[in-house]
Amino acid sequence: MKVLFLLNAYEEDGPGLLIFSIIQEMQRSGAVACSTVALSRGGPLQERFDALGVPTALVGMKSVCDIAAIGRFIRHLKQERCSVLHTNLIRADLIGRMAAKLAGVPIIVTTEHGIHTWDVKGRIVKWLVRFLYRLTTRFTDRIIAVSEFVAQDLRRNGISDVKITRIYNGINTDPYHPLPEEQRHELSPYLADWEVQHLVGVIGNMVALKGHAWCVQAIPAIVAQHPDTLFVFVGKGPLRQEIQQMVSSLGLEKHVRFTGHLSALLPRLMGSLDVLVQPSLVESFGLAVVEAQACGVPVVATRVGGLPEIVVDGETGFLVASEDSGALADKVNVLLSKPVLARSMGRKGREKVLAQFQIQQTASAYAEIYRKLAREKAIDSES
């Protein structure tokens, strides 16, 4: 069975890395033959697909109204003769569903990471996106919700429950594992020129919905109790300069490092953390939280979206209200003050990841969806 995955761009963001991991696992198991297309632009993820031997292509779309690019994509679908088009993120969903219908692709699947991310663009855009999403859902055979939170949001937006399947995101746990105690502090000298005792991570693109500002506001209360703590902000995005200015205005430059995007070094950094903070205002799932828990790191996260499905409050970490920097600081201080509790939560977090959030489980569930739809439509799943 040939499956073509459609992305907005070859970026190493959460959805892109999830699809890379799924394809990597499918290639290993031989479940399906995979190829990829990005609508707008290339990037480092395209190079990783090329190295994996997965075919890649670029449509070169300049805007959602680029009719010529849509035409090129329809022709590409006809040439590929794939059994399944699998779309990811709203722009790819809307364009991919219509193009696949016109190209005669027999099975159309979407992974839904959360249509709420477009709400911040205003009421008109919010209404238009949700209207077009519901409209093109009629062409879609299955929508995979990455959490129960996303599944419920789809139902609230009028999507039939028959079309929704909840499949949790998964990670490859091979690189994400607890580090031996003697290795946990090896990165600290490269991050600061003073003796760091505690390392706290904040990992995610610097956009408003990730809530970085609330974490920055919590730092003074944390370093007041634990002055030997360093906060590492990993990620890039339009708000990076604003967050850096906030750090400077609070006089926290000594206690904060901005690394930008990390790829190969991320598992090592994760394993070096004492605590991961996830201060999101909205979060469909939270791959960084799963990666941290796989490394045996306790998490302090906001009680929003799909995060309560990952973090068990009081067992694998703590959940706090969003936009509550005081509560966030309190829980981080608890974990830094009680290393035995922190290690216990870290162990339980890793056990939860191994039981529920491994990429093998995710990829297997995706492949079963393809096979089930092929049986329903009397399509040869071996073709």
Q: DSSP letters of 133-180?
A: HHHHHTT-SEEEESSHHHHHHHHHTT--GGGEEE----B--SS--PPP
In order, the DSSP letters of 356-382 are H-BHHHHHHHHHHHHHHHHHHTT--TT
At 311 the pLDDT is 98
Which of 188-192, 263-267, 297-301, 366-370 has the weakest average pLDDT? 263-267
Tokens representing residue 368 in the block = 């079963």
CA-nearest of 263, 268, 254, 274 to 236 is 263
Burial class (CB in 10 A: 0-12, 13-18, 19+), 314: exposed
In whole angstroms, how far apart are CA 226 and each of 14, 198, 326?
31, 8, 15
Q: Which helix (H) or strand (E) holds 323?
A: none
Q: In whole angstroms, how large is the CA radius of gyration of the chain? A: 21
Residue 58: in which H helix or E strand, if any?
Answer: none
Cα angle: 249, vertex 251, 252; to 5 degrees: 110
pLDDT band at 64 (very low <50, low <70, confident <90, very high): confident
**Rounded mean pLDDT, 24-47:** 90
Of 163, 233, 226, 166, nearest to 376 (Cα)?
163
- Which contacts qualify for 145-149: CB closer than 8 Å, 24 or more apart? 145/112, 146/111, 146/112, 146/113, 146/114, 146/284, 146/285, 146/306, 147/284, 147/285, 147/305, 147/306, 147/309, 148/306, 148/309, 149/284, 149/305, 149/306, 149/309
Q: For the whole model, what pTM was predicted?
A: 0.91
Q: Output the pLDDT for position 30.
A: 82
CA 124 to chain centre: 26
Which burial class, exposed, middle or buried, applies to 156 when counting CB atoms under 10 A from its CB (0-12, 13-18, 19+)? exposed
Higher-confidence residue of 115 and 224: namely 224
Mean pLDDT, rounded, of the chain = 93
* pLDDT tens readout for residues 192-244: 999 999 999 999 999 999 999 999 999 999 999 999 999 999 999 999 999 99
Domains of the chain and CATH, by start: 2-170+358-376 (3.40.50.2000), 181-356 (3.40.50.2000)
Quickly state the pLDDT bin for 182 (edges 50, 70, 90). confident
pLDDT higher than 80, residue 111: yes
Q: What are 300-359's pLDDT values in tens digits?
A: 999 999 999 999 999 999 999 999 999 999 999 999 999 999 999 999 999 999 999 999
What percent of the chain lies above the pLDDT cut of 70?
97
* HSE of 275, CA atoms in CB hemisphere, 13 A: 31
Give the pLDDT of residue 181.
Answer: 87
**pLDDT tier for residue 129 given thresholds of 50, 70 and 90:** confident
Residue 234 identity (one-letter amino acid)? V
pLDDT beyond 80 at 40: yes
Mean pLDDT over 15-36 rounds to 90
Separation in Å, CA 164 to CA 94, 142, 344: 17, 6, 36
